[in-house]
Amino acid sequence: MAIPYEERGWDPSAEGWNRAKPKPKPTVNSDDVDLAASMETAQPIQTPISTLDERIASEIVNPTEQKIKGVGIGLTRSSKWSQHFDKAEKQNNLPKGSLLSIAAIESMGDPMAGSSAGARGLMQFMPSIARSMDMRVDDQIDERTDPVKSIYAAGKFFGDLVKKSDGNINEALMKYNWGWGNVSKWKSNPESTMPMETRQYLGRWSAAMKLQEESAKGQSSPAR
């Protein structure tokens, strides 16, 4: 097969049919090669939807006025053990009023309260959690109904949740209400959402803290 002169490297127009000078190859900058290679292998940049705090805040459901009144009643009923709440909070480096707020929304301040899921007492411990906090739960005795023991056990339990949540109170509250495993699954899946109960739980807890703050300000204000 005849091969064109140009492909042989000969220039038929040149005198004596001299070999044509090969065309110089374009120079390639090593930086350009590295850049091109990185562009081929680079993964698309994904911008985080939000931080954990922002994601939690976006799902919180604020309570209605009626629910806030119920939270206030729970705070009033639970406040009879306020000295124990204060002590348990200090022992476990918890925000003031945090445990009292949990009691207000968990049991409305009723040490004998129970749930269909099996939680019981002022702080609504499940049997397994109570036993892990050295509380006796059997056919003869159920120490979950002892408000003082429940308060100190809750201080230890919630304090541990806060530590293992890197100080994030809302995340610890989610674990207290919804369970550690469920929260872990929720965190690993940006498309998932909390159950409505937990979303409302966070809103009611915040309302309880705000009510306590407003009450403290009112008590400290000088009389006119």
Q: Please count the structural domains in the chain.
A: 1
Paired residues of 114 in beta bridges = 120
Task: Quote the Cα angle for 77-83-86, to 5°.
Answer: 100
* Phi/psi of residue 209, nearest 5 degrees: -65, -40
Residue 1 resides in a domain: no
Task: Quote the Cα angle for 23-29-34, to 5°.
Answer: 130
Residue 41 resides in a domain: no
CA nearest neighbour of 81 among 62, 107, 116, 47: 107
CA nearest neighbour of 62 among 201, 219, 194, 189: 201
Q: Is the pLDDT of residue 3 over 50?
A: no
Residue 86 resides in a domain: yes
Residue 26 resides in a domain: no
Using only the alpha carbons of the chain, give its radius of gyration.
Answer: 34
Q: State the pLDDT at residue 222.
A: 60
Residue 8 resides in a domain: no
Give me the CATH number covering residue 186.
1.10.530.10
Residue 195's Cβ-side half-sphere holds a number of Cα atoms within 13 Å equal to 11
Q: What is the pLDDT of residues 64-109, one digit of tens each?
A: 999 999 999 999 999 999 999 999 999 999 999 999 999 999 999 9
**Structural domain range at position 84:** 52-213
DSSP label of 61 = -
The gap from C-alpha 84 to its chain's centroid, in whole angstroms, comes to: 28
- Is the pTM value of this prediction over 0.85? no
Paired residues of 19 in beta bridges = 10
Residue 153 resides in a domain: yes
**Is the distance from CB of 34 to CB of 42 less than 8 angstroms?**
no
3-state SS track over 96-135: CCHHHHHHHHHHCCCCCCECCCCCECCCCECHHHHHHCCC
User: Averaged over 216-221, what is the pLDDT?
Assistant: 79
Q: What is the pLDDT of residues 12-66, one digit of tens each?
A: 344 443 444 455 555 545 544 444 444 444 444 444 546 999 999 999 999 999 9
How far are the Cα atoms of 46, 64, 95, 211 from residue 68, in angstroms, in the given order?
40, 6, 20, 9
Residue 107 resides in a domain: yes
Q: State the pLDDT at residue 219.
A: 80
Q: What is the pLDDT of residues 109-132, one digit of tens each?
A: 999 999 999 999 999 999 999 999
